[in-house]
Structure 1
Amino acid sequence: MKNVAILVPENAVMQAIADPQYCFTAVNQFLAVSGRKPLFNVQLVGLKDEVRLNDGKYSVRPDLLLDQADATDLIFIPALFGDMAQAVNANTGFVPWIVNQYQKGTEVASLCVGAFLLASTGLLNGKKCSTHWGFTNEFREMFPEVIVQDGSIVTEESRIYSSGGANSYWNLLLHLVEKYTDRETAILASKYFAIDIDRNSQSAFAMFKGQKEHQDEAVKKIQEHIENNIEEKMTVEELAEIAAVGRRSFERRFKLATNNSILEYIQRVKVEAAKRSFETSRKNINEVMFDVGYTDTKAFRTTFKKITGLTPIEYRNKYNKMVCD
């Protein structure tokens, strides 16, 4: 029997507590129906007898308090809600226990932005981690020693698991179901919960909003120039000249401010514009490609797929139902 502890932190997302409980309880039922013994002992673990969530609208009563949960095989840290720094601060009481359990051999999994609480333990330092695509910049700022995996759905390293944004954590749940049971049971669970079991990237869902939360005005000037001239071809030399900064210094400052090289930033801005066009217009692939400054079909397709995980045609067909080829 595997003891599964689902933490009940302050500021938690209710569904990120309920879903792993539902998943592993259902797997126990699948196993029983097939004549096998239930495998998971699933318990909610908290710091107090009752936790109020969603501005007090919901009440969760943990099965165990933290000091009663000693023999744990797998810990789930659910997604948090609101200001991440405040949410982590409100749950520091979990940190020593998580570290102690991990040192005893327990596996630890964070769901979505639960990665912030996991990272606060120090266990992720020097390791890879996934989180919601919309929080990667904030995560990097708070935890610079952690290696963020852009776009990943599931990351696993040294008995620590993390997942991408929102419902992406279901792919991590299925990954762990398969690890602890078998592929057949994981596929059954994926069909039961209507989850694509082998989805491995959240890139198609990411919206690039540009990283402007910095104080380098020369870099901001170039970011705005790039965003306002997506149809143009641009070189690093030209942009450095517009910024009135030497090329090497400009490249260094741009990377430091945005976490992207200049060429990466140009690509991401152009692809984001192409995505919006595919979602909302009837333009064909070549028309959109030309609109965002590409003339080489292969280069556009390669760049688009690198950033979104889908080809332009796949993306258009997935997100624009008005289009008929």
Structure 2
Amino acid sequence: MKHVSILVPKHNTILSSVVGPYKIFNSVNDFLIQTGKSKKPFFDINLVGIDYGTALYDGAFSIHCNATIHDIDKTDLIIISAVRPNCVAESIKTNHAFIPWIKQQREQHNTEVASLCLGAFILAETGLLDNKQCATHWAGIDLFKQRYPQIDVFPEKIVTDQDGIYSSGGAYSFLNLIVHLVHKYCGQEVAIYVSKLFEIDISRDNQNQFAIFKGQKEHADVLVQKAQIFIEENVTKKISVEQLSESLAVSQRHFIRRFKKATANTPLEYIQRVKIEAAKNSLESTQNTINEVMFSVGYSDTKAFRSLFKRYTGLTPMAYKNKYNRELVNY
């Protein structure tokens, strides 16, 4: 039997990230017993909090934990549920008591630890992700990079798995991580069964197509903000980093260093992301050809544009248009 502790952060937990793993692991237990593969449940599932209960979504829901961290001496797997995106810093502060407990479990019992979506911020606070791969929600990537530069962030990843430390991409992609864990512990047959039962696409390996780039202006560097505004207001033009630094009367080296510190992107990456986001919007909402869209965001090399678009979205421009264009999609 594998003891699983699904952590329930106080106040800011995403409810689905608690219910999802709970239901899937229970379904595995039912399947193994019903098919005669086991006489008892494989997973001993516990909802573990700092306290026994917490209210969510302004009191609309509440979760009643069956244990607190003070009740659990040893667990085999810790799952850190997702927290709400608009209060990550508050969530870390409110749930700080989880951090030494997670570290203790890892150090004393070699417990495996998985973070779901923005639960990665709580996992990062433990230090267990240092110099390891990590995925999280695309909306939190830039803040995560700024806060934890020692962690190797993979924005496109759905699942990371390294030395018993796991993470998942954004929102419901946590389901792919849970199926991944089921496969690891119970084998392919059981993983395929739960993927079919819950209709989870286990072939998904990239979340870039879902990302929306809004720019990163939550910083106080006025010079960098001027550069960002210029880039965003001149999407149709070819913009060079040299041109930007000269217009702001700073050296190119100083500008690049300052820009990356403020936004977690180099100026070139920022230019590319702004242009690709504009291209995505055009592909979603117009009947313009791929070449017309390419020219409208300042590119003239079809091969280079296609390669750049796929790097940031995981799809070719045509595949993206076929999937998301409002005229083409049948809901």
Q: If the length of structure 1 is used for normalisation, what is the TM-score?
A: 0.95
Question: What's 1:31 paired with?
Answer: 32
Classify 1:65/1:260 alpha carbon distance in 2 versus 1 (closer, same or farther; 3 Å): closer
In the alignment, structure 1 residue 96 sits paired with structure 2 residue 100 = yes
In the alignment, structure 1 residue 215 sits paired with structure 2 residue 234 = no
Mapping of residues 278-289 of structure 1, within 5 Å = 278-289=283-294
SS in 2 for 1:114: helix
Question: What's 1:76 paired with?
Answer: 79
Contact 1:219 1:243 in 2 (8 A): no
Question: What's 2:91 paired with?
Answer: 87
1:41-60 CA-partner distances (Å, limit 9, x unpaired):
11111222222222222222
Classify 1:287/1:44 alpha carbon distance in 2 versus 1 (closer, same or farther; 3 Å): same
Contact 2:79 2:115 in 1 (8 A): yes
In the alignment, structure 1 residue 137 sits paired with structure 2 residue 142 = yes
In the alignment, structure 1 residue 229 sits paired with structure 2 residue 234 = yes
Structure 2 gaps, min length 5: none
Question: What's 1:51 paired with?
Answer: 54
Structure 1 residue corresponding to 2:128, chosen from 109, 123, 126: 123
In the alignment, structure 1 residue 250 sits paired with structure 2 residue 255 = yes
Classify 1:301/1:7 alpha carbon distance in 2 versus 1 (closer, same or farther; 3 Å): same
Question: What's 1:65 paired with?
Answer: 68
Contact 1:282 1:323 in 2 (8 A): no
Q: Across the two proteins, how many residue pairs are aligned to each other?
A: 324
Contact 1:129 1:162 in 2 (8 A): yes
In the alignment, structure 1 residue 271 sits paired with structure 2 residue 272 = no
CA RMSD of aligned residues (A): 1.6
Q: Quote the sequence identity (%).
A: 51
SS in 1 for 2:155: coil
1:140-159 CA-partner distances (Å, limit 9, x unpaired):
33333322222221112221
1:131-188 CA-partner distances (Å, limit 9, x unpaired):
1111122223333332222222111222111111111111111111111111222122
Contact 1:222 1:242 in 2 (8 A): no
Q: Which residue identity does 1:224 align to in structure 2?
A: I
Provide the C-alpha distance between the structure 1 equivalents of 2:77 and 2:124, rounded to a whole number of angstroms.
Answer: 17
Provide the C-alpha distance between the structure 1 equivalents of 2:199 and 2:116, rounded to a whole number of angstroms.
Answer: 19
In the alignment, structure 1 residue 114 sits paired with structure 2 residue 119 = yes
Q: Which residue identity does 2:294 align to in structure 1?
A: M
In the alignment, structure 1 residue 167 sits paired with structure 2 residue 172 = yes
SS in 2 for 1:175: helix
Provide the C-alpha distance between the structure 2 equivalents of 1:191 and 1:321, rounded to a whole number of angstroms.
Answer: 29
Contact 2:5 2:77 in 1 (8 A): yes
1:269-321 CA-partner distances (Å, limit 9, x unpaired):
11000001111111121111111111111111100000111111111111114
Residue 98 of structure 1, CA deviation: 1.0
Provide the C-alpha distance between the structure 1 equivalents of 2:50 and 2:253, rounded to a whole number of angstroms.
Answer: 51
Q: Which residue identity does 1:2 align to in structure 2?
A: K
Classify 1:234/1:97 alpha carbon distance in 2 versus 1 (closer, same or farther; 3 Å): same
